[in-house]
Amino acid sequence: MNDNSDFNQLDALLAQPAVIADRGFSERVKQRMSKSNTARRNVFLITGFCWLALVLIAASPQAIYADFSTLALSLDISSLYPSVLNQFQSLSSSAQQLPYPTLAAALLSLAAVASMVVRA
Amino acid sequence: MISESALILRALARHDNDAFSALVRMHQGKIRAYLVRLCRSYDLADDIAQETFLTAFRKLQSYKGEGNFSGWLFRIAHNCFLQHIRKTKRRIEITEQFGTQQELQTEQYDSLSTEQMDLEQALTQLNPDETATITLCHSYGYSHQEVSDILDMPLGSVKSNISRGKVKLQKILTKPNGLEKAS
């Protein structure tokens, strides 16, 4: 048999590919898309709440110090406690020197970056 | 009927599920048939196809309209297939297992002639690179360069895979007992 004509027949056959029937496939994908949209919405909702919480905390650096101190006291890190306390104290004193709008802006920027990372 | 580009724009601008679902309906037949040829399993191909469309939905913003949309989908599908193989680390097992175990399920297709059935069976005897290049080039009409872009494979390899695969197919289809190995 002629090779060229064989290859022509093969090409003709290959040019008519079999197509798989849908049979509910598109619907399944649509359902999964909706689920992923819901998850996405939830992530943004949580990010929004975190953002709000950060703004509230930024309004009071003293409260951060108090919270951290309480947390440190509740944990059993007695050996690390002096150095941790020193760090908290230095954090507290530097926060007191920092103007509130600057601190709030810094935290909001951090939240915005986190939000962008989540979106990516 | 709304055109493909209009649906893409709608899905992009409004993150419209319905518009994207219409795109899924438009392309699922080809993508799944392509993946069945690669995976040699209908269930696995369905899972990878779902992953393909979900990835496409998530990354639709990155589709810049360069090249055609189905080419972009084939690229994602192929990457999902490779990712699955890497994840399971069972490339050889999958190839061997499904190459010998898969039964052609005619009810899965819209319509299938005897010649097409023979071709689908014969394709199971090629390696995934040969199957992918031949399918994209000869069944879906992409140029060698486009196939090279979709599969991220050098142009020379695309050409050699196609010619080697076609010679194999020719032998399988013309041999009287050529398909026995696949069935």
User: CATH number of the domain that B26 lies in?
Assistant: 1.10.1740.10
Q: Are residues B29 and B88 in the same domain?
A: yes
Q: Are residues B7 and B94 in the same domain?
A: yes
Q: Which domain holds residue B56?
A: 1-102
Q: Are residues B92 and B8 in the same domain?
A: yes
- For chain A, the structural domain boundaries read 25-119
Q: Are residues B66 and B119 in the same domain?
A: no
Q: Are residues B90 and B171 in the same domain?
A: no
Specify the pLDDT at position A17.
Answer: 85
Terminal CA-CA length for chain B? 41
Last residue of a domain, one of B102, B133, B155: B102
Q: Quick one: tokens of A46?
A: 């949580």
Q: Is the ipTM of this complex over 0.90?
A: no
Look up the CATH number of the domain holding residue B132: 1.10.10.10
Q: Which of A105-109, B9-13, B41-45 has the highest mean pLDDT?
A: B41-45
Alpha carbon separation from A68 to A52, A58, A91 (Å, rounded): 19, 14, 10
Specify the pLDDT at position B34.
Answer: 94
Q: Long-range pairs for B49-52 at CB < 8 Å and ≥24 separation?
A: B49/A25, B49/B77, B50/A25, B50/A28, B50/A29, B50/A32, B51/B80, B51/B84, B52/B76, B52/B77, B52/B80
Q: Quick one: tokens of B84?
A: 């699955």
Q: Do A21 and B21 make contact, defined as CB atoms within 8 angstroms?
A: no
pLDDT of B183 > 50? The answer is: no
Contact between B159 and B130 (Cβ < 8 Å)? no
* Nearest residue of B to residue A16, measured between CA atoms: B139
Closest by Cα among B90, B124, B81, B91 to B105: B124
Residue A20 — φ and ψ, nearest 5°?
Answer: -75, 135
Q: Are residues B68 and B119 in the same domain?
A: no
CB < 8 Å to B126, chain A: none
Could you read off the pLDDT of B120-175 as tens digits, one per residue?
889 888 999 999 999 999 999 999 999 999 999 999 999 999 999 999 999 998 87
Specify the pLDDT at position A18.
Answer: 82
Contact between B75 and B150 (Cβ < 8 Å)? yes
Specify the pLDDT at position A13.
Answer: 87
Last residue of a domain, one of B49, B82, B102: B102
Three-state SS for A115? helix
Interchain CB contact of B55 with A (< 8 Å): no
Specify the pLDDT at position A120.
Answer: 46
What average pLDDT score do residues B9-24 get? 84
Q: Are residues B69 and B97 in the same domain?
A: yes
Sorting pLDDT into bands at 50, 70 and 90, what band is A49?
confident
Q: Quick one: tokens of B27?
A: 């392309």
Specify the pLDDT at position B154.
Answer: 95
CB half-sphere exposure, A115, CA atoms < 13 A = 17
Contact between B158 and B151 (Cβ < 8 Å)? yes
pLDDT of A38 > 70? The answer is: yes
Sorting pLDDT into bands at 50, 70 and 90, what band is A47?
confident
Q: Are residues B16 and B76 in the same domain?
A: yes
Interchain CB contact of A12 with B (< 8 Å): no
Number of domains in chain B: 2
Q: Are residues B7 and B91 in the same domain?
A: yes
Sorting pLDDT into bands at 50, 70 and 90, what band is B47?
very high
Specify the pLDDT at position A76.
Answer: 62
Sorting pLDDT into bands at 50, 70 and 90, what band is B102?
low
CB < 8 Å to A10, chain B: 166, 169-170, 173
Q: Do B24 and A16 make contact, defined as CB atoms within 8 angstroms?
A: no
Q: Do A33 and B57 make contact, defined as CB atoms within 8 angstroms?
A: yes
pLDDT of B92 > 60? The answer is: no
Q: Are residues B149 and B63 in the same domain?
A: no
CB < 8 Å to A16, chain B: 113, 116, 139
Specify the pLDDT at position B182.
Answer: 43
Contact between B28 and B49 (Cβ < 8 Å)? yes
